[in-house]
Structures are given as structure tokens and as C-alpha cells.
């Protein structure tokens, strides 16, 4: 006989997986906007707002399940983790919207060297895919790979920032030779760095769901 709690868990899982798909679409759209120079701000904003609504639904449903059925052990870990995971997916949408806002504010950047931002975005996008897959499959060991990739994202961001603040007045390849390109790249890389962080947090939550323990890197 199906428990009423099980129906609630199925519902919360359905919302979480819808958030996973939508948040990945948000970030992908924002990155494509950067690469192609075509900003779809309204679409990303709509998706970002929808993710916020989903997050509230998860929070409300999780609270109701806890108070009504007083779950324990695995069920309780899953419900608690879903609230954190929903927040992570909501942040993906928020940072995606921040990226397209940067593009709208800075104007045309079609002549900029986009290689370092694209490299960072490829890593962040793969981290999103890995975190979502870990959630689907309950693959707890994915968290280690996520943190290694996060180290790479951090290194790219810090190196770019270091290049900006290091005086190279005689160098033609210094990023600040074109402030518009440099500032937009730095801001977008910062948002990508935060996206990478939240992918790790989702991996942490999966590890907790499976083991009942904090991940080794949390």
C-alpha cells in the first residue's frame, strides 16, 4: 500500500527534476547569448522567476511533509536535501540572468577575445550536467569530480583577475587594453564561478542523501 508520504516524495522529486531541466536551460541560454551576441533577457528572466516559484513550492511541500508525517532516516535526509538542491537550481537561474544583464549593460562585445570565458563556461556547464546526473542516479562519488572541476574554474577566474591587476602597460595583450571586454568577462566569470560552487553543493546534498554524512570536501 502506497504511503501518503511516498506520494509527497514523488511530488517533490518531480518538481526538483523540472527545476534541474529548467536551470540547465537558463545557463545554456545565457552562455549562448555571450557567444553569439544575441541577448534573450526576457526569456532568461521568465525562466529564472519560474525557478524561484518552484523553489518556494519545494520548501512549502518539504515543510508540510516533515510536520505532517514526521519522517525519519532516509526520507528525512531526502526532504531536507531537496530544499538545498532547489535553492541551488534557483541560483543557477539567478546567475544566468545576471550574465545576460551584463551583456545588455556592456553592449556589443563581438570583437572581444572570449576564449577564457568560454573555457570557464564549458566547465561550469559540465558541472551542472554532472550534478543533475548524480541526483538522478544517486552517484555519491560524483562530488569528488565536481570539486576537482571547481578548482579549475576557480583557477581560471583568479588567473584572469590577476592578469587584470598586474601592471603590463607595455603589453598589447593586457586585458585592460579593452575595458569593455575585460569588465564583462570578469563579471561573467564570477557568475560562472558561483554556478560551479552551487553544482558542488548539489553534489554535497546527493552525498548526504546516500550516506547520511557530509561530503569529504564540504
In the chain, the domains with their CATH numbers are: 4-211 (1.20.58.220)
Contact 81, 208 (CB under 8 A): yes
pLDDT at 208: 96
The band of 19, judged by pLDDT with boundaries at 50, 70 and 90, is very high
Place of cell 570539486: 147
Sign of CA dihedral 210, 212, 213, 218: positive
Between the two ends of the chain, the Cα-to-Cα distance in Å is 38
Encode burial over 86-118: b for 16+ CB neighbours within 10 A, e otherwise. Answer: bbbbbbbbbbbbbbbbbbeebeebeebebebbe
Enter the DSSP assignment of 110: T
Q: How far is residue 89 CA from its own chain's centroid?
A: 6
Q: How far apart are CA 154 and CA 217, in angstroms?
A: 15
Contact 191, 98 (CB under 8 A): yes
pTM above 0.85, yes or no: yes
The band of 40, judged by pLDDT with boundaries at 50, 70 and 90, is confident
pLDDT at 117: 96
Whether pLDDT at 168 is above 80 = no
Whether pLDDT at 174 is above 80 = no
Amino acid at each position: 500500500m502506497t504511503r501518503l508520504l511516498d506520494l509527497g516524495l514523488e511530488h517533490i522529486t518531480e518538481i526538483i527534476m523540472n527545476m534541474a531541466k529548467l536551470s540547465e536551460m537558463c545557463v545554456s541560454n545565457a552562455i549562448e547569448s555571450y557567444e553569439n551576441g544575441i541577448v534573450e533577457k526576457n526569456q532568461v528572466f521568465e525562466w529564472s522567476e519560474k525557478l524561484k516559484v518552484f523553489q518556494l513550492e519545494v520548501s512549502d511541500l518539504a515543510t508540510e511533509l516533515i510536520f505532517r508525517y514526521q519522517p525519519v532516516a532516509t526520507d528525512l535526509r531526502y526532504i531536507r536535501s531537496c530544499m538545498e538542491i532547489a535553492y541551488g537550481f534557483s541560483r543557477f537561474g539567478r546567475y544566468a540572468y545576471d550574465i545576460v544583464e551584463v551583456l545588455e549593460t556592456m553592449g556589443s562585445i563581438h570583437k572581444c577575445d572570449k576564449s577564457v570565458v568560454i573555457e570557464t563556461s564549458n566547465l561550469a556547464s559540465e558541472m551542472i550536467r554532472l550534478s543533475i546526473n548524480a541526483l538522478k542516479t544517486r552517484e555519491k562519488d560524483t562530488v569528488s569530480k565536481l570539486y576537482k572541476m571547481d578548482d579549475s574554474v576557480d583557477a581560471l577566474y583568479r588567473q584572469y583577475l590577476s592578469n587584470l591587476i598586474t601592471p603590463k602597460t607595455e603589453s598589447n595583450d593586457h586585458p585592460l587594453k579593452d575595458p569593455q571586454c575585460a569588465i564583462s568577462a570578469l563579471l561573467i566569470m564570477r557568475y560562472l564561478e558561483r554556478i560551479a560552487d552551487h553544482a558542488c553543493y548539489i553534489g554535497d546534498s546527493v552525498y548526504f542523501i546516500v550516506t547520511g554524512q557530509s561530503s569529504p570536501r564540504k
